[in-house]
Amino acid sequence: RKEVEQDPGPFNVPEGATVAFNCTYSNSASQSFFWYRQDCRKEPKLLMSVYSSGNEDGRFTAQLNRASQYISLLIRDSKLSDSATYLCVVNLYNQGGKLIFGQGTELSVKP
């Protein structure tokens, strides 16, 4: 079983749609959680951290359920510029801050 698993995708949605990404992790020692965005042939960029209480940044909302070891990302009113691959990432502090990346979910927003 992969340590971090995401929806396989790709997601093809029209502009303005709401889209949700799901992610599960297997290591209960995971201590911090992130969503990264990666554009084609570029490095990943931090989109947002994910907190237990849930957090929102503009059109983006992240949720964490530690009991279920589940993380989600909701994008509202999607824009063309949101097209990218979204990576679910967990940080293992007890392994020197190692980041474990999910395989990513590709999003394509169409006009």
| 60 vs 101 by CB, closer to other proteins | 101
Q: Is 86 left (phi over 0), alpha (psi -120 to 50) or beta?
A: beta
Tokens of 54: 């849930």
Q: How far is CA 31 from the centre of its chain?
A: 15
Q: State in angstroms the smallest separation of the CB of 31 from other proteins.
A: 9
Residue ranges binding other proteins (CB under 8 A): 41-46, 87, 91, 93, 96-104
| 61 vs 103 by CB, closer to other proteins | 103
Check residue 111 and report its DSSP letter.
Answer: -
Q: State in angstroms the smallest separation of the CB of 44 from other proteins.
A: 6
